[in-house]
Amino acid sequence: MTQAPIAMITGASSGIGEATARALADAGYALILTARRSDKLEALAEKLRAIGASVHTLVFDVRDEAAVEAAVTSLPESWRSIRVLVNNAGLALGLSPIDKGNPDHWETMLDTNVKGLLHVTRFVLPLINKDGSGHIVNIGSIAGKQVYANGAVYCASKYAVDALTQGIRIDLAHIPIRVGSVCPGAVETEFSLVRFEGNAEKAASVYQGFENLVAADIADAICWMISRPKHVNINDIVIMPTAQPNASTILRKNA
């Protein structure tokens, strides 16, 4: 029996990570799903098992280096050969000018989006396939290409993801492990609810008056990126709503 290729997705408990888990299950991958909220992760795992996917869940905070190491070390032998790592866990907190920013928010964003990605990559790298099929996909953002007002620290964290993607790409080319990023504009997920700390009205207003991206659009791009032949490395995909030409401009109806 041929074993299904394994993909590990961080931040699989909602949004883009969850949609990617569904898409990769449909594409025949076995899945290692990670996040902090074990109830959400288990509910998704059960749904995917019901459609025939093999799923292993790991509950950890990407900011906690020791917890990341312990979780990866805990993987059973049959889960220790990973074809695709999707570094997706991330968040924004707040939307404020720098002189009014909250340093706790800054620390959480940088620790999650930058150091968390590094911790996961460092401990998972030894398990990634070295036969040319191995792949790392980092979820960046249009905010990592263009800075927008009141988002300096979130943007800085995503510029760092862009730099790390380019650097890791160079460093792993000799193995080879393929490395690329998918950088979306506005996708309706829990992202804005988290950014505005549970203010549902404020979060909903982000997506009003235009057709935003949905998480499945990003999952689709990830599936395409990782299904290219071994000699093709897609370095970067920037994917935007048609109504959002750049990081700072959204064409809203009735606005």
Active site residues: 154
What's the residue count for the chain? Answer: 255
207 contacts which partner out of ligand NDP, ligand 8X3, none, CB within 5 to 8 A by kind?
none
Residue 36: closest CA among 109, 78, 90, 114: 90
Which amino acid does the sequence have at 125? L
Site string for ligand 8X3, 86-105 (x = CB under 6 A): ------x-------------
Site string for ligand NDP, 144-173 (x = CB under 6 A): ------------------------------
Residue 82 burial by CB count (10 A; 0-12/13-18/19+): exposed, middle or buried?
A: buried
When the beta carbons of 42 and 81 are compared against ligand NDP, the nearer one is 42
Sign of CA dihedral 221, 14, 149, 158: negative
Q: Which of 8, 13, 55, 71 binds ligand NDP (CB under 6 A)?
A: 13
Does residue 219 interact with ligand NDP by CB under 6 A?
Answer: no
**Residues whose CB is less than 8 angstroms from the CB of residue 36 and which lie 6 or more positions away in sequence, other chains included:** 13, 59, 60, 61
For residue 6, give both structure tokens.
């394994």
When the beta carbons of 91 and 147 are compared against ligand NDP, the nearer one is 91
Closest separation in Å from C-beta 164 to ligand 8X3: 16
Does residue 121 interact with ligand 8X3 by CB under 6 A?
Answer: no
247 contacts which partner out of ligand 8X3, ligand NDP, none, CB within 5 to 8 A by kind?
ligand 8X3
Closest separation in Å from C-beta 1 to ligand NDP: 32
Does residue 142 interact with ligand 8X3 by CB under 6 A?
Answer: yes
| Cα–Cα distance measured from residue 59 to residue 29, given in angstroms and rounded to the nearest whole number | 20
Does residue 141 interact with ligand 8X3 by CB under 6 A?
Answer: yes
When the beta carbons of 17 and 151 are compared against ligand 8X3, the nearer one is 151
Q: Applying CB under 6 A, which part among 35-43, 73-81, 137-145, 212-220 lies near ligand 8X3?
A: 137-145
Q: Applying CB under 6 A, which part among 74-82, 106-114, 139-147, 208-216 lies near ligand 8X3?
A: 139-147
| Chain positions contacting ligand NDP, by CB under 6 A | 10-17, 35-37, 40, 61-63, 88-91, 112, 116, 139, 141, 184, 186-187, 189-191, 194
